[in-house]
Amino acid sequence: MSEKNATPLIEARKVTRILSGIVPTTLVHDVDLVVPAHEFLAITGPSGSGKSSLLYLLGLLDLPTSGEVLIRGRATAHMPEEERARTRLETLGFVFQFHFLLPEFTVQENVMLPMRELGKLSSDAMRERANDLLGALGVGDHISKRPDQLSGGQRQRVAVARALANDPPLILADEPTGSLDSKASEQVFVILRELVDMYGKTVIAVTHDLPLATRMDRRVELMDGTIIVDEWTRAPAEAG
């Protein structure tokens, strides 16, 4: 099968998410989205438009009220929770705005956590992989430090290393530069760009930063939980 006709890495089909209550709230409405491998996709829109809600649905952190999210063609909505959790560990890496590193663990230990949960590597192999990732991301000199001993940009690099721990094909980032200054934001963006261009990852990033979004391969804009724009911001040939 050619790459052009290959099964999408991730796909949303008519996905809707409604919060029940006295007045039900629709977070995401009837979203169709196909994301192939090796794409850098921005999800944009105003506050409350459903950006993060859609990301959590794509990341199997939340379940749709109706519709389906497929990972490499496999339906996920009715998977047993154990299988869904393993799919997250093997296929998805997460980077959040406030990094969510555990303060009681060292930088190295934080990066090893997803590997421990997946349980495929020995302790020595996990430490070696964590050190390699941290070194590649420019924070290899800080492996024994606690997160609160690092700058915001350094903490976000550690969070990227943790997201890559199990070598997932897809990285989901929720406002990864939202809490950083312009210099650190650019550094994190360059890292995410390199993950796509040099390492063949797919990155889906929620961002409110439109200039940043236009430097990604493709931009999807949401309004009231519905996609209103889906456009290439780099030509497909340029995006690789």
In angstroms, the CA 47 to CA 182 distance is: 21
One digit per residue, pLDDT tens: the chain, 240 residues?
345 557 899 999 999 999 888 888 999 999 999 999 999 999 999 999 999 999 999 999 999 999 999 999 999 989 999 999 999 999 999 998 777 899 999 999 999 999 999 999 999 999 999 999 999 999 999 999 999 999 988 998 999 999 999 999 999 999 888 777 888 889 889 999 999 999 999 999 999 888 889 999 999 999 999 999 999 987 554 544
Q: Do β-strands 218-223 and 202-206 pair in parallel, antiparallel, or remain unpaired?
A: unpaired
What pLDDT was estimated at residue 220?
96
What pLDDT was estimated at residue 158?
94
Which of 232, 234, 180, 183 has the alpha carbon at shortest distance from 207? 180
Q: Chain-centre distance of CA 136, in angstroms?
A: 19
Which of 8, 32, 88 has the alpha carbon at shortest distance from 56? 88
What pLDDT was estimated at residue 98?
72
What pLDDT was estimated at residue 45?
94
Which of 172, 178, 198, 175 has the alpha carbon at shortest distance from 62? 172
In angstroms, the CA 150 to CA 105 distance is: 13
Q: Angle at which helices 123-136 and 107-118 pack, to 10 degrees?
A: 130
Q: What is the CATH number of domain 10-234?
A: 3.40.50.300
Query: If DSSP codes are grouped into helix, strand and coil, which group holds residue 74?
Result: strand
- For residue 169, give both structure tokens: 């094909």
Which of 35, 32, 33, 36 has the alpha carbon at shortest distance from 4? 36
Domain ranges of the chain: 10-234
Q: Are 107 and 157 in contact (CB under 8 A)?
A: no
